[in-house]
Structures are given as structure tokens and as C-alpha cells.
Structure 1
């Protein structure tokens, strides 16, 4: 499931400054990247929501010196600040004010994302913008507003899924804060998300969510590995990651079977019956996996036991599709982060078909075939 938005771009970043220097034009431009709507009322909702986040920000350094601040909060913010310094010093990520600020927005999620699909299709309802390109959801700062929009689409016969989001990046338009919504996470996850979101500030390619999220996920994982090593922490327990991969594989297999069902020439009534049978199969396979591999403990029980539909399956696969390709590109860069980002930027400037071909080729390369000095400006697969 998605845990964040991830917007940013290597062409549209702008230097950090105080909000009082800006007009409403860039704020409305940001709103266009968060989601799409044909009404100014919706844009106004996004502008107001972002403004509420911005005005709640406080410098973390000042909070750490304030004796009135809860000791537990100070500890978490000190960790975030340490991770922020590490990101710039060791991972060559942007050295700006993002994640050096804190904002308590007094709610559990900063944004709710609404995914919509037809009843008998896995094609998402897309929303497109000048900067961010097309995305498969609409974002809302108000849960009630998001629920209302979902209810309208359900009445129109569409499948919907509403996911709460704890953090997002704003393309470098604003200095993104650590949010109270992020502090429910473990220390490790908090550090990882800081790396992930700063990676989105490093690079963003319009209309290619899988590329953007896989890139940020690689930076997150490799950055976290280096963070642990630098702090003398034990390597991550592979059990949790293995369970996550198994669960995602299970959902992706179900989604592929549904795609084949919807593309068949069967009557709609049979497709509807097949859809429900597939969701029953997915639940049964999950229970079997939980008992066989996980000792009967299911970390994804809540997600699986809630109603299933096409829209709920949309986010899967976006964060992981090209992670191994980026890992191999990092090897070609011999672990040099700046060189790695340069190579990724070259990939990002390719046409979509060429970029996907290059990523496939990176996945297919054996370690002996990787040439440290090669750049993926044009890749030919054998």
C-alpha cells in the first residue's frame, strides 16, 4: 500500500526561502501536482491544506533547546535531524531546510489519496498536471471530503480505495517538515522515509511513477544500510522484508489474473462472478501463506480482511519494480552517489520506451557484464 506521496523533479526545484516571500501562484501550482479537479473549489481546498502545513512548521533545532518540549518528542526530532545531516553528508542528497522543520497538524494523516477504477477494469482514473504529469489518484487534506468524493464515485458504479498518507514531498517548492504523522513509525522507518522523500527532490520524471518510486526506494534501502553501518547497528532482519515481498507477489499474481479475466470476452455477469471468486482465492492463498511461512502471524490481516476491489490493488508494484535495476546502476557507479544520480538523470531523460528497455537490460546484466564507466544513454539487450 502507498505510505506517502512522492512528488519532486530535477528540473522544477527552486531554492528554499520563507513563505512570506511567495505569492499564491506557486502554491496553486503545487496544488496542481497534488491532484486534479475541474473546480476552483478543489484547488482552494488544496491550497488551504498546504498552507496549514506550512504555517505549523517550527525549526527542529529550536525545539530541541526548548525545555517545555516533551522529552520523547525531542528524542525523535533529534534522530530525524541526525538522519537529515547524514542524508546530505553521506548520500549526497539536497542540503536544504526540508526535514529540518517540524509540524504538528493534529491529525493522523496529512493527506488521503483516492484511487478509482471501473468495476471491470484495472485501469486507474488518471489526473494529469503540467509539472507532475499523470498520477492514478486524487489527494485530499480532509478525510470527510475524500470520503464524500469516494461515495460519489461508488454511486456511479466505480471501485474506490481511500488510503491515508503520512508524508509527501513538494517538488522543492517548499521546505517539507517532519510531521507528527511520521512519528508513529519506528526509528528505522522514520530515517528511511527521510531518505526516500529527499530522493524525490533529487529526481522526478513526469508520468513514470514506477521509475520515481523505485529510484527513491533504492536510495531509501541503500541509505538505510549505510546508516546502520555508520552507527554500528546490526543489519536489518530479512524476515520482515521477505514477508513483504511474498505478500506483494501474492497480490500482483491476483491482479494479473483479474486483468486476464477483464480482457476476456466473457459476459459482464460472468466477469463479476469471476472477480469475486478471485478475491476469495486471494484471501485463501494469503491465509495459507501466513500459516505455512509466517507461523500464523499475519502483518497484513487488516488490509486483507477489509473489502477488496480493483482500486485497492492499484498501488502494488510501483515501489519495487525497478529497485534491482537501480542497485546495478549503483554498482556501475562504484558506490559514488553523485555519479549514481548523474546516471539516473540520464535514464530519466530517455524516451519512455528507451528508458524501460535500459532498465530491463540492467536487470538482465550479470555482475561480470557490468562496466563501471558505461552510461545508459543507449542500451542494447543481447
Structure 2
């Protein structure tokens, strides 16, 4: 990160920098760890849950779609919550909503399952928007490093949610206690966050300048929003459809396809820890964004042109490309001058971005149904990634909204 950016980020933080110690770092990591298991824990038990509740396939589709749509809506509301309650208190509210929603959704029938999922997803969205603000205000000289820690913890949480829930189902005797178990780490994160954030001074910073300018007419803010939305769209499509594609055209078994999908998450962990810190030290992050995007493009082209040649290689390249998520979060923190502007930019990018991303899996599947093959859907993905690389290169240039 440039000297100018470090100095600008450090201005006005005052006593808040002191909050950026070891306990606060742990609080950020624990919060991030809880932002995906609520979603990824459902998939492995979806059939069992649907059968137990006597629900339809339409209900199952709604249950898996609700979190993404809630991410979009709650993401736009999060800056308002931060201005009223303060960033520290807002994150505490988010974690409380997450823990409560995880308990509520297993208490009764199908409607309460949807309602609890909505509550939990709102908590996830609030925290996801506000953590970049925390990083900006409490770690002004370590934005890249802490964004990497946050992103790696988020990816680890996603992996744990999908990997540990089936064994919990077996050990605890059903899907209800298995899913409810994920409320425990959310409560732990809430306790640690509350202790670490006490006296951090977030309230005063967030309350300042209530009538600050809107970013809806800011060109750079929209560039970052489109960049975030396109990388999220690609990620949702890959997570939802890659195993099916690998089995249909890559010549791999169901078990191998699952392992290759898990490899995507594992690849993201070391990259998330290393790349954002390196990228933030330079004035521009464009080169890193283009480089990772090029890897993803090579992976998509490989799956399109020679899918059976090396499914492992194509998956690794695709995983490298998807790791640009950590840089999308880094650009949000680096392209804003103050914590308040970071909150606005984060809410805008994640709110509108997830709304754009929600259409990805549906459109990919629709194109497959209409054409009867994977060529047209993959050409769509390649087009999305090319635009993402171009927009990301603009988002990574050293300037402010």
C-alpha cells in the first residue's frame, strides 16, 4: 500500500488504532469464520431436511436462493444500521441475528426454516458489509493483511460448514441438532467481538456526517460494484454447477467431482492470506486482479475446449481465478478515504453486487436447458470473466471514490 494511502487511512483513527491488537484480530477472524457455515451447512442435508418437513422441491429452491437475495437487500441497509448504532454495535447486532436465526430455523416447520434463514442471512450480510469498515478504521497500516485474514477465515468457515455437518448429523441423531450446532461458534464470536470492540470508538466515527454524499452517482463506486458482482456471479455458478460439468464432460466420478470442488476452497486459503497483503503494498492492485483473472480464464477455456485432458489442472486454474474475491474486498477498503465512505462503498458493492450475482446460476442452467449442452453456458461465463478482468483493472487503480 502506498505511503499516501497509509497516511490517509491513519488520519482520524486516533484511539481506534489501539483496538487493532491481537484480541481484535481474533474477533475479526472469528466473525468471518461464521459468515458462511449458515449457508454451506444446508446443502449436504437438504434432502433429509426437505423429507422431514414434507416440503416441496420449490421450497428447497427457495431455501437456497433466499440467502443470496437477503445478502443483497441487507447489504444496502447495513450502512444505515452502522450510522444509527455505530459500527461496533452493528456488528454485535449482526452476530446476534446470525446466532438467533440459526436456532430459529430448526425449531418448527418449513416456514420457520425459511424465516430463520432470512434472519441469519441478514446477520451475515450486515457483518460482511461492516468488517471492511472495521479493517479500514482499526488496521489502517495493515489493510491488505487483515483483509487476507478475514477472507481466509471466511473461506475456512465455508469449508467447515459443508464438511462437518454430515458427521454432526450422524453423531447428534438428526439434521436439527446438526444445523443448530453452528449457533455455538456464532455466540462465541459475539462474546469475543463485544469484549474486543469495547471502547474502540466506532460509534463516534460512524455517527459523524450523517448526511454524507451518496455514492450512487460515483463512477468508481459503480466500477467496484460491477467488479464485485461479476466475481460473485462466477463463484456462485462454479460452486453450484462445477461438479455436474466435471461429471458430464470431464470424465470424473461423483466423488472426484466433490473433491475437486473442495479443492477450490482449499486454494483460496493461502492465496487469501498472501495476495491481499502484497497487493495492498503497491499503489495499484490492477496487475494482481488481471493475473488471477487470466488464470480463471485459462481454466474456463480448458473446461470448454479440452475438459477431459486434465480436470485437476482446469480446477486449479479456476480456483486461482476465483481467489480474486479477496482483492475485491481489498479494493473496497483501499478506494475509500474514511470509515464512513468504506461503509457506503461496501454496502453498495455487496448489495447491488449480490443482486447481480443471484442471476448467475439460474441463467447458466437456463442456457444449458435451452441448448442441451455446455458450450453456450461456458461462453457466457467466459464473457462475464473478460468483463470482470477489465472492470477489475479499473477498480484496482490508486484513486478514491
Structure whose residues are more often helix by fraction: 2
Say which structure, 1 or 2, has more relative contact order (CA 8 Å, 6+ apart): 2
Q: What TM-score do the two structures reach when normalised by structure 1?
A: 0.26
Q: What TM-score do the two structures reach when normalised by structure 2?
A: 0.25
- Which of the two has higher C-alpha Rg? 1
